[in-house]
Amino acid sequence: MSNFNWGYPNTVWFGNGRIKDLPKACKILKINKPLLVTDKDLVKTKMVQETLEINKRANLLTSVFSDLKGNPLGSHVKRGVEIFKNGNYDGIIAFGGGSSLDVGKSIVLQASLNRPLWDFTDGGSFWIERKFSESMAVNRISNSDNIVPTIAIPTTAGTGSETSRAAAIINDETKVKKIIFHPRMLPTLTILDPKLTVGMPPFLTAVTGMDAFAHNLEAYCAPGFHPMADGIALEGMLLIKKWLEIAVKERENLEARANMLASSSMGATAFQKGLGAIHSLSHPVNSMFDVHHGLSNGIFMPYVLTFNRSTIENKIAKLSGYLELKKASFNSFVDWVLDLRNKIKIPHKLSECVEITGTDIEKLSPMALNDPCTYDNPRKITLNDTKLLYQYSVEGKLF
């Protein structure tokens, strides 16, 4: 596959081996002293060492911050901000999965604007609009603020954080997973190099792929008029239908890796229109039980689909036709989702990966109801609905 440069939603350099262009990206953005943000496991890998060596050969002395893990905490961001400021760095290279990218973007935001991280969540004093689709409104922070450039380099194909203006961070004190948002969290430049995703094991390929699928699907189903987001989401899901199963089974298939990486970025581009209850249910489970976000999204998907049926049936029928399923119908799509999950070994029930009690459901349900993603679910949700959705996902019972 050839190299391509895109200009939407940010500057994107796509192609196999594009990691070699990292020094060029730093030069264009006038980054002379970058801090590379990655997680505690990835930092030990050959790909990180090779990336640091690429910069070293270009006389770019690059330091590393890796004190973070999956489902990152506010304390990870706080520590990163301290290191960033004390080291007088002039840019961030966010390298890794969604957690690394989210933390890197959050470090830039908090370090540059000197505001508490939680000011940029729903209910915070700097939250612009509850709906992501209205997010480009100008707030009281002017364009003259010194927000340093960010280069995002994903090594998984799921979150799409490299093309989004948001990050998911858990509040250490409340244990609630919050959406951090600001228009200028969008990375300045993104490098999409499919070769960096080749090392993903089948399980990680599967769950990150389901994360990308959930982003595209919920964006498409979200209410409102945003034909650009709908079009991107439709094509993103078609790529997933064609390539996810192949990527899971054939780890070295670069064409599959490239298309899944593209679909991931497409999902995050499309969900500026909105998300929904799949994410509302996932966030509390991620924070309380440390379940991988893509895994929980994949588990909750058919339960939310069938719950929302009355409001999305016609749209899903249209989607089924676009995906060239045997029949353009809601049932055909749900059957295909269930079959795909089975083929890539995504559990059908939440209880297959974590023990959830009735007491847990009582705690999780209000957290899901109050999640900002609930606002854009196609069907309005009550507290009793979130309880039923959790209960059904534990029992394996569709609506």
In terms of domains, do 365 and 245 share one? yes
Domain total of the chain:
2
Q: Please give the residue range of the domain that contains residue 100.
A: 4-197
In terms of domains, do 162 and 213 share one? no
Residue 183: its pLDDT value, please? 87
In terms of domains, do 210 and 178 share one? no
Q: What percent of the chain has pLDDT over 70?
A: 94
Is residue 161 predicted with pLDDT exceeding 60?
yes
In terms of domains, do 255 and 343 share one? yes
Q: How confident is the model at residue 125 (pLDDT cuts 50, 70, 90)?
A: low
Last residue of a domain, one of 197, 230, 247: 197
In terms of domains, do 306 and 380 share one? yes
Highest averaged pLDDT of the listed ranges 67-76, 110-119, 231-240: 231-240
pTM of the model: 0.93
pLDDT digits (tens, 9 = 90+) for 359-399: 999 999 999 999 999 999 999 999 999 999 999 999 999 99
In terms of domains, do 222 and 339 share one? yes
In terms of domains, do 213 and 155 share one? no
In terms of domains, do 131 and 278 share one? no
In terms of domains, do 215 and 156 share one? no
Q: What is the CATH number of the domain that holds 157?
A: 3.40.50.1970
Residue 146: its pLDDT value, please? 76
In terms of domains, do 94 and 30 share one? yes
In terms of domains, do 241 and 153 share one? no
Residue 2: its pLDDT value, please? 83
Residue 127: its pLDDT value, please? 54
When pLDDT is averaged across residues 84-92 and rounded to a whole number, the result is 96
Last residue of a domain, one of 167, 197, 227: 197
Q: What is the CATH number of the domain that holds 308?
A: 1.20.1090.10
HEC secondary structure over the chain: CCCEEECCCCEEEECCCHHHHHHHHHHHCCCCCEEEECCCCHHHCHHHHHHHHHHHHCCCCCEEECCCCCCCEHHHHHHHHHHHHHCCCCEEEEEECHHHHHHHHHHHHHHHHCCCHHHHCCCCCCCCCCCHHHCCCCCCCCCCCCCCCEEEEECCCCCCHHHCCEEEEECCCCCCEEEEECHHHCCCEEEECHHHHCCCCHHHHHHHHHHHHHHHHHHHHCCCCCHHHHHHHHHHHHHHHHHHHHHHHCCCCHHHHHHHHHHHHHHHHHCCCCCCHHHHHHHHHHHHHCCCHHHHHHHHHHHHHHHCHHHHHHHHHHHHHHCCCCCCCHHHHHHHHHHHHHHCCCCCCHHHCCCCCHHHHHHHHHHHHCCHHHHHCCCCCCHHHHHHHHHHHHHCCCC
Last residue of a domain, one of 197, 217, 245: 197
Residue 358: its pLDDT value, please? 96
Residue 135: its pLDDT value, please? 42
Is residue 112 predicted with pLDDT exceeding 90?
no
In terms of domains, do 193 and 206 share one? no
When pLDDT is averaged across residues 75-94 and rounded to a whole number, the result is 96
